[in-house]
Chains A and B, each alone.
Chain A
Amino acid sequence: MKAEVVANQEISPSHYRMGLTCSGLQADYEPGQFFMIRIGQGYEPLLRRPFSIHWMQAGYLEILYRVVGRGTEWLASLRPGQELDLLGPLGKGFWFPADWSSVLLVAGGMGVAPLRALAARLSSSAEPSISGSQGRQRRISVLIGAKREEDILCREDFEHLGAEVLVITEDGSLGQKGMATDLLGKVLLKSKSPVNSPSVVYACGPRPMLARVSQMADELTVPCQVSLEEYMACGIGACMGCAVQVKVQDGLYQLACKDGPVFDAGVIQW
């Protein structure tokens, strides 16, 4: 479906946030789902590119992207008023425990992209009037790790949603030096008693980071969901390109586009 670019802002060097309007967009999506975007109209580049939902409401979609190649270069060149072609929303998103007191969102670099939509959904369900949880305090903590200060994205967005945000960079430019998993280690250490441990850990970022997050959550028997990124051609389960190796018996791969991109971290063969 055709969508119109209404904003395409460089929020940090090489990082863009694009707003799109399209009457076909529905509000009832799952955070973690994605869209396949056609890059231009020609055959070069040929394939659509997947982008997770950064934020969406009826008629409006936001994506967050970093310019890394021809596809994202083309996207960055678009101006308000120009059109592009969307396919989606696709895939299976994050799911929510029936009851929760605190959740941890762990992002590595661009991993913040789907986590903002997730935080927004969690935040709306944290309001006592909606959740009916008798005003019990629900806490959303977001841990963001990136290479440098300018790669830490969306900090204010998460704060506006009422989340507690902790950041760390590999160059130490914001105080703490290290990776998102180092932050996670500290937070989990503090919440060592089962009463304080998070109800769920949600993570998105580079695969080695996700593997480590999964392992750390597993050690504390905290449920963990991860959003995976794989090369894919179609996004709808036909090309079978985005194979994800899982720990199930039948030996077949699952597909990031159809069975994911969000998976229970425990089923992934890291």
Chain B
Amino acid sequence: MKPDLSVELAGIRMQNPVMTASGTFGYGKEFVPYLDLNRLGALVVKTITLEPRAGNPPPRIVETPAGMLNAIGLQNAGLEAFLQEHLPYLRQFSPPLIVNIAGGSIEEFTQLASRLSQAEGIAGLELNISCPNLVDGLIFGTDARLLSSLVRQVRTATPLPLLVKLTPNVTDIILMARSAVEAGADGLSLINTLLGMAIDIETRRPKLANVTGGLSGPAIKPVALRMIYQVAQALTVPIVGMGGIMSAQDALEFLIAGAQAVAIGTANFIEPASCIQVIEGLESYLIEHQMPRLRDLIGTLITD
């Protein structure tokens, strides 16, 4: 018998726990030649901002040991272009669509949230309060009081399930997680990239034009796992776990640590069909371990 992979995350019903991580999957279209998008648990699209953003000058990415640094700078065509060009296309796919948004102010976040709530075909919102490549991007993500007032106001602007994507670049992840949840977040996504840097020793220049960038890939997986475990222990809140997941084995670690769902990011760049490989791997694991339902695996870490 086929195992049941379905999960419910902050009121969003998903056929399996595998989502795409914002910023690594474009607006879906780029991946259509490589996988059936209808098989995904949920689709999370690249961050949109109120106005178009040009992004950072190149070089924007650099490979690092078992990882990569990026400083794209949230290049996107803005809310209007998303509503007119991307959303109608995305509506043809059955998995829930989660739109990731970022703003330079609370006002921008609330405007985005309220406009998107009026649009058809959006299942939830994810707040990007943790982009390390914006001048002011990290402020909301690293100041618990600011984060709290941001989430509280966005909460009043939208009836949609609200996920808050946390940055790992903080001293106390539980403090940030608690602030977001108490202010009305329905779920948490963690982690975003770790702030990092690489230097060309010949030119003595930074390898990224932006100097610093966000580290992702297998290199950050242990950090992500630890933070998800800590938050899952401290709070009762749905968690989307992400950070260096390359395989079903990686995804299983996150689920066992307490994540209700997982998001695949950097792996999409290397293998465009990574999400499908993870879904199939989860299914095989459940069959092998004679577990009828994936839900029964979540948060089952044994520590004694």
Using a CB–CB cutoff of 8 Å, the interface residues on chain A facing chain B are: 38, 43-48, 87, 230-234, 236-245, 250-253, 258
Assess A43 versus B54: contact at CB under 8 Å? Given A87-B272, A238-B269, A253-B75.
Answer: no
Within 8 Å CB of A242, what residues of B? 58, 60-61
Contact mask B20-46 → A, CB, 8 Å, 1/0?
Answer: 000011100011001000000000000
- A236 vs B26: C-alpha distance when bound (angstroms): 10
Q: B26 — nearest CB in chain A belongs to which residue? A: A238
Q: Which of B61, B65, B66, B77 contacts A233 (CB 8 A)?
A: B61
- A262 vs B275: C-alpha distance when bound (angstroms): 31
Q: B62 — nearest CB in chain A belongs to which residue? A: A231
A239 x B54 contact (CB < 8 A): no
Taking the complex as formed, is B135 at the interface, i.e. its CB lies under 8 A from any CB of chain A? Answer: no
- 9 A-B pairs with C-beta separation under 8 A: A46-B68, A46-B217, A233-B70, A236-B34, A239-B70, A239-B72, A241-B58, A252-B55, A253-B58
- A44 vs B54: C-alpha distance when bound (angstroms): 31
B40 CB to closest chain A CB (Å) equals 15
Q: Which of B26, B31, B57, B68 contacts A243 (CB 8 A)?
A: B57
- Most chain B CB within 10 A, of A44, A87, A243, is at A243
- A231 vs B269: C-alpha distance when bound (angstroms): 13
Taking the complex as formed, is B153 at the interface, i.e. its CB lies under 8 A from any CB of chain A? Answer: no
Q: Which of B54, B65, B266, B270 contacts A253 (CB 8 A)?
A: B54
Assess A244 versus B58: contact at CB under 8 Å? Given A46-B63, A46-B68.
Answer: yes
Within 8 Å CB of A38, what residues of B? 270-271
Q: A250 — nearest CB in chain B belongs to which residue? A: B52
A236 x B272 contact (CB < 8 A): yes
A182 CB to closest chain B CB (Å) equals 26
- Most chain A CB within 10 A, of B57, B60, B66, is at B60
Within 8 Å CB of B34, what residues of A? 236
A147 CB to closest chain B CB (Å) equals 17
- A250 vs B76: C-alpha distance when bound (angstroms): 11
Taking the complex as formed, is B67 at the interface, i.e. its CB lies under 8 A from any CB of chain A? Answer: yes
Taking the complex as formed, is B15 at the interface, i.e. its CB lies under 8 A from any CB of chain A? Answer: no
Q: B64 — nearest CB in chain A belongs to which residue? A: A46
Assess A47 versus B75: contact at CB under 8 Å? Given A240-B55, A244-B58.
Answer: no
For B, the interface residue count at a CB cutoff of 8 angstroms equals 34
Taking the complex as formed, is B218 at the interface, i.e. its CB lies under 8 A from any CB of chain A? Answer: yes
Taking the complex as formed, is B19 at the interface, i.e. its CB lies under 8 A from any CB of chain A? Answer: no
Q: Which of B73-88 contact A (CB under 8 A)?
A: 75, 77
Q: Which of B170-229 contact A (CB under 8 A)?
A: 217-218
A38 CB to closest chain B CB (Å) equals 7
Q: Which of A45, A244, A252 contacts B63 (CB 8 A)?
A: A45
Q: B28 — nearest CB in chain A belongs to which residue? A: A238
Within 8 Å CB of A231, what residues of B? 58-62
- Most chain A CB within 10 A, of B65, B217, B270, B271, is at B270
Q: B217 — nearest CB in chain A belongs to which residue? A: A46
B63 CB to closest chain A CB (Å) equals 5
Q: Which of B56, B57, B60, B270 contacts A47 (CB 8 A)?
A: B270
- A231 vs B268: C-alpha distance when bound (angstroms): 17
B31 x A44 contact (CB < 8 A): no
Taking the complex as formed, is B112 at the interface, i.e. its CB lies under 8 A from any CB of chain A? Answer: no
- A240 vs B61: C-alpha distance when bound (angstroms): 9
Taking the complex as formed, is B246 at the interface, i.e. its CB lies under 8 A from any CB of chain A? Answer: yes
Within 8 Å CB of B61, what residues of A? 231-233, 239, 241-242
Within 8 Å CB of B266, what residues of A? 46, 233
Within 8 Å CB of B272, what residues of A? 87, 234, 236, 238
- A243 vs B61: C-alpha distance when bound (angstroms): 10
Within 8 Å CB of A253, what residues of B? 54-55, 58, 75
- Most chain B CB within 10 A, of A237, A240, A250, is at A240
B270 CB to closest chain A CB (Å) equals 6
Further pairs besides A87-B272, A241-B59, A252-B54: 6, Cβ < 8 Å: A38-B271, A46-B67, A237-B30, A242-B58, A243-B60, A243-B72
Within 8 Å CB of A244, what residues of B? 58
A259 CB to closest chain B CB (Å) equals 13
A238 x B25 contact (CB < 8 A): yes
- A180 vs B86: C-alpha distance when bound (angstroms): 44
